[in-house]
């Protein structure tokens, strides 16, 4: 048992965020147990990544490596990627197809459900050695995740039982989830991976924070993709753990909303306008929907780039941001090309997301040296209600309301 963290949340409730939560190793361990191994549906992959029986992928839930498989009956399974014998990381490949997962150390082997199927020399060699009489392979199955799937997206949980995903997401968040994952076949376009030197919660805060988006992201604002004066909404589920930032593209011109941006580049004209040729593809008028799903997923629809960003914590001071870009099987060549071009804005080299990974690093450098201080979340008031504008930190306050309940802070 690790040391229980000691934290006194500062006065001011969810409008004050103690910097200790970004760097304290004991808090991090408790987050891995309560948040990532607790009552949450964590994103683990897409159905198209493991289409056939025997297929597997390795990913992480929290900082723990897990294997997601499709068993011989076509069922999706998940288990911890760690041999029950000596704790060795069992599967060393990110993707593949196999009947058995064999530990390299003593060749204990497991099937696609995580059941222990083989132990070499279990009866000994020439009547020598072997496991004790009471050794039962069934006692050594790998810890399993329960899984669920909705329109091609796979979630896993270490909880013994979980409500269905639509109950977990709530009505509004389910509706927007289904807006992107509407049952059409998905087409995998590729991955981008980056190791960001900041606490994992800073990534969620970033995507739940529309206040920064119109100020930090000069590229977005310059080309009118996101502006503080656009028609927009922030919406949460009843618990506050999931959120939606919904916005509608406006004009690329100076206005009251850009007056406070000191480095706006009004004279920046693209040499090749194909970089930004968004087309409407969803029934509603929203051009940006950023959805954050507790505990590890961001669903990104920025114009025509669709991506899942999975947050994989790697200790209190860093996390991997693992991006999976996709389109639909019915996309034509032009649409696929458009999605690939717009991905220039969002990736480990993103013209827009680069601002975020850089600012998260700077945040971590600031907060980790001052664990007894606290950040301020007062924009838009003190509540955590839905809003019809972007000048607010309401979704961060909602997130921390839920975080505090789960963590007991």
Partner 1 sequence: MAVDVALQFELEDLYSRYASLLDDGPLRDWPDLFAQECLYLLIPRDNYDRGLPLAIIRCESRGMLVDRVRAAQETIMHEPRYLRHHVTNVRVTAVHGGRIDAIAHFSVMEVLPDELPRVLCVGRYIDVLQRREDGALEFVEKRCVYDSVLVPNTIVYPI
Residues in contact with partner 1 by CB under 8 A are 94, 188-197, 216, 218-219, 222, 263, 265, 268, 270-272, 274-275, 320, 325, 336, 340-341, 343-344, 347-351, 354-355, 357-359, 361-362
For residue 5, give the nearest of 407, 285, 307, 394 by alpha carbon.
Answer: 407
Report in angstroms how near the CB of residue 356 gets to partner 1 at its nearest: 9
CB 277, min distance to partner 1, A: 12
Nearer to partner 1, 272 or 332 (CB): 272
81 or 347: whose CB is closer to partner 1?
347
Which residue's CB is nearer to partner 1, number 110 or number 326?
326
Q: Residue 275 or 405: which CB sits closer to partner 1?
A: 275
Q: Please identify, using beta-carbon distances, which residue of 251 and 358 lies nearer to partner 1.
A: 358
Q: What DSSP designation does 38 have?
A: S
Q: Could you give the CA distance from residue 344 to residue 335 in angstroms, rounded to a whole number? A: 15
| Least Cβ distance, residue 95 to partner 1 (angstroms) | 8
Residue 74 structure tokens: 């076509």
Task: Confirm if 196 and 360 have CB atoms less than 8 A apart.
Answer: yes
CB of 112 to partner 1, least distance (A): 22
Q: Which is nearer to partner 1, 364 or 384 (CB)?
A: 364
Q: State the nearest-atom distance from the C-beta of 275 to partner 1, in Å.
A: 6
- Rounded to the nearest whole angstrom, what is the least distance from the CB of residue 159 to partner 1 in the complex? 29
Taken in order 165, 167, 170, 174, the sign of the CA dihedral is positive
Nearest alpha carbon to residue 155 among 47, 72, 54: 47
Rounded CA-CA distance 169/172 in Å is: 8
DSSP string, 213-282: HHHH-HHHHHTTSS-TTSSEEEEE-TTSSSEEEEE----SS--GGGTT-TT--TT---S-GGGS-----S
d(CA 159, CA 42): 11
Measured in degrees and rounded to the nearest 5, phi and psi for residue 388 equal -110, 30
Minimum distance from residue 186 beta carbon to partner 1 (Å): 13
d(CA 127, CA 169): 57
Closer to partner 1 at the Cβ: 148 or 351?
A: 351
Q: Cα angle at 116 between 112 and 118, to 5 degrees?
A: 110
């Amino acid at each position: 048992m690790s040391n229980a963290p000691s934290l006194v949340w500062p006065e001011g409730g969810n409008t004050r965020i103690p910097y200790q939560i970004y760097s304290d190793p004991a808090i991090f361990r408790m987050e891995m147990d309560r948040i990532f191994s607790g009552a949450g549906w964590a994103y683990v992959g897409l159905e198209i990544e493991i289409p056939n029986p025997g297929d597997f992928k390795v990913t992480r839930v929290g900082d723990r490596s897990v294997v997601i498989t499709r068993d011989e009956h076509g069922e999706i399974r998940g288990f911890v990627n760690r041999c029950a014998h000596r704790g060795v990381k069992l599967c060393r490949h990110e993707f593949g197809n196999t009947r058995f997962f064999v530990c390299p150390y003593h060749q204990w082997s497991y099937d696609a459900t995580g059941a222990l199927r083989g132990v070499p020399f279990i009866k000994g060699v020439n009547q020598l050695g072997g496991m004790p009489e009471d050794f039962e392979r069934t006692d050594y199955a790998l810890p399993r995740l329960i899984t669920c799937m909705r329109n091609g997206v796979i979630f896993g949980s270490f909880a013994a039982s979980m409500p269905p995903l639509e109950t977990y997401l709530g009505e509004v968040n389910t509706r927007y989830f289904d807006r992107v994952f509407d049952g059409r076949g998905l087409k995998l376009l590729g991955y981008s991976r980056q190791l960001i030197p900041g606490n994992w919660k800073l990534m969620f805060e970033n995507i739940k924070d529309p206040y920064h988006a119109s100020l930090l992201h000069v590229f977005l604002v310059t080309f009118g993709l996101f502006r503080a004066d656009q028609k927009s909404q922030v919406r949460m589920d009843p618990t506050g753990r999931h959120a939606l930032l919904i916005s509608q593209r406006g004009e690329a011109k100076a206005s009251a909303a850009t007056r406070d941006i000191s480095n706006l580049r009004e004279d920046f004209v693209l040499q090749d306008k194909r970089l930004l040729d968004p087309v409407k593809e969803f029934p509603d008028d929203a051009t940006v929907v950023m959805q954050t799903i507790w505990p590890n997923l961001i669903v990104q629809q920025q114009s025509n780039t669709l991506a899942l960003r999975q947050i994989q914590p790697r200790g209190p001071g860093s996390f991997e941001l693992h991006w999976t870009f996709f389109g639909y099987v019915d996309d034509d060549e032009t649409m696929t090309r458009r999605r690939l071009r717009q991905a220039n804005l969002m990736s480990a080299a993103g013209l827009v997301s680069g601002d975020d990974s850089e600012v998260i690093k700077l945040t971590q450098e600031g907060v980790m040296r001052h664990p007894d201080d606290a950040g301020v979340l007062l924009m838009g008031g003190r509540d955590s209600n839905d809003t019809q504008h972007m000048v607010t930190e309401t979704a961060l306050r909602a997130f921390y309301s839920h975080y505090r309940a789960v963590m007991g802070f």
